[in-house]
Amino acid sequence: MLPLQFYCIGPSAYCFINIRLRKYSHKVQFAMGNITQVLQEVVSANKVVKLDYVNAVGVHYSANIVITSGYRDPERQAQAMFGNWLKLNRGEVYKEDHLPAETRKKMNDAYKIAEESPKATNSEKAEAKSKFIELGKTIPGYHTQGRAIDISRGSLPERAKQALDKELKQVQENNNISIWHYQKEEGAVSTVTEDTKSKWPKP
């Protein structure tokens, strides 16, 4: 099981560890991980989906926005896909150009053996999971491009969500009621200005 890692963005002091990243102050909350891994992922997540945009939303609405995941390397992305395969509607949430139907079928067949077959031996299950992971590592996901973040739903007030919706695309992942998945499919995330804030819902 992968370590759970959380980044708490916003004005509150409830988060456990404060770090200074570049010129921004980010509050980082983590569990079962280590600080080096968390810092590495926070930096990597800055590739496209800038944390300063999310932080600006959090400050504007006095919200402590908890980012549960950002950038993932192909191995971690494949592991995340395996762990959330049912929530991902067995891969159907992915576009065809990201996850071709033939590959999705192979992954689903492997998942069935690894997780759902009552007759498969432990060795067969392990082999099937390994096959799933190897296939998953080839999928060009938005997380592996630094273009996606997952946000804990309970940490995102409705008006803050509406502000994020203006810049990032929110993608519904079937059966996943704990997080909002946001991605920036093209281009860079806009810099937050006073004009930007004027277009957000009033706090």
**Tokens 């630094």 identify what position?**
146
Do 12 and 99 belong to one domain? no
Element spanning 58, H or E? helix 51-60
- The Cβ of residue 194 has, within 10 Å, a number of other Cβ atoms equal to 6
Do 97 and 194 belong to one domain? no
Average pLDDT over the chain reads: 77
Please check whether residue 203 lies inside any domain of the structure.
no
Chosen domain end from 112, 136, 160: 136
Between the two ends of the chain, the Cα-to-Cα distance in Å is 39
DSSP 19-45: EEETTEEEEEEESSS-HHHHHHHHHHH
Whether 8 shows a pLDDT value over 60: the answer reads no
Q: For residues 21 and 64, which has the higher predicted lDDT (pLDDT)?
A: 64
- Separation between Cα atoms, residue 163 and residue 58, nearest integer Å: 10
- Separation between Cα atoms, residue 143 and residue 49, nearest integer Å: 10
Please check whether residue 29 lies inside any domain of the structure.
yes
Please check whether residue 49 lies inside any domain of the structure.
yes
Whether 119 shows a pLDDT value over 60: the answer reads yes
Do 65 and 84 belong to one domain? no
Chosen domain end from 113, 136, 159: 136
Please check whether residue 91 lies inside any domain of the structure.
yes
Of the candidates 90, 84, 94, the one whose C-alpha atom is nearest the C-alpha of residue 109 is: 90
**Tokens 């980012």 identify what position?**
67
Under the banding of pLDDT at 50, 70 and 90, the label for residue 9 is very low
Do 102 and 147 belong to one domain? no
The residue range of the domain holding 84 is 74-136
**Tokens 């007030």 identify what position?**
157
Do 109 and 161 belong to one domain? no
Please check whether residue 186 lies inside any domain of the structure.
yes
Do 63 and 79 belong to one domain? no
Most confident of the following: 26-30, 106-110, 142-146 = 106-110
Q: How many domains does the chain have?
A: 2
What percent of the chain stands above pLDDT 70?
73
Do 132 and 83 belong to one domain? yes
Q: For residues 144 and 119, which has the higher predicted lDDT (pLDDT)?
A: 119
11-25 pLDDT, tens per residue? 443 333 333 333 333
Angle between helices 122-136 and 74-83 (to 10 degrees): 130
pLDDT for 110: 98
| 166-184: burial string, b at 16+ Cβ within 10 Å, e else | ebbeeeebeebeebbbbbb
Whether 194 shows a pLDDT value over 50: the answer reads yes
Task: Please give the average per-residue pLDDT across 53-78, as a whole number.
Answer: 85
Do 63 and 10 belong to one domain? yes
Whether 118 shows a pLDDT value over 50: the answer reads yes
Contact 146, 43 (CB under 8 A): no
Q: For residues 182 and 37, which has the higher predicted lDDT (pLDDT)?
A: 182
Cα within 13 Å of Cα(104), Cβ side: 16
Please check whether residue 124 lies inside any domain of the structure.
yes
Please check whether residue 125 lies inside any domain of the structure.
yes
Element spanning 6, H or E? strand 5-9
Do 79 and 67 belong to one domain? no
Q: Is 165 in a helix, a strand, or coil? A: helix
68-78 pLDDT, tens per residue? 777 788 998 99
- The Cβ of residue 83 has, within 10 Å, a number of other Cβ atoms equal to 12
Do 111 and 167 belong to one domain? no
pLDDT for 186: 85
**Tokens 């996901």 identify what position?**
141
Do 84 and 132 belong to one domain? yes
Do 118 and 151 belong to one domain? no
Q: For residues 60 and 1, which has the higher predicted lDDT (pLDDT)?
A: 60
Whether this model's pTM surpasses 0.75? no
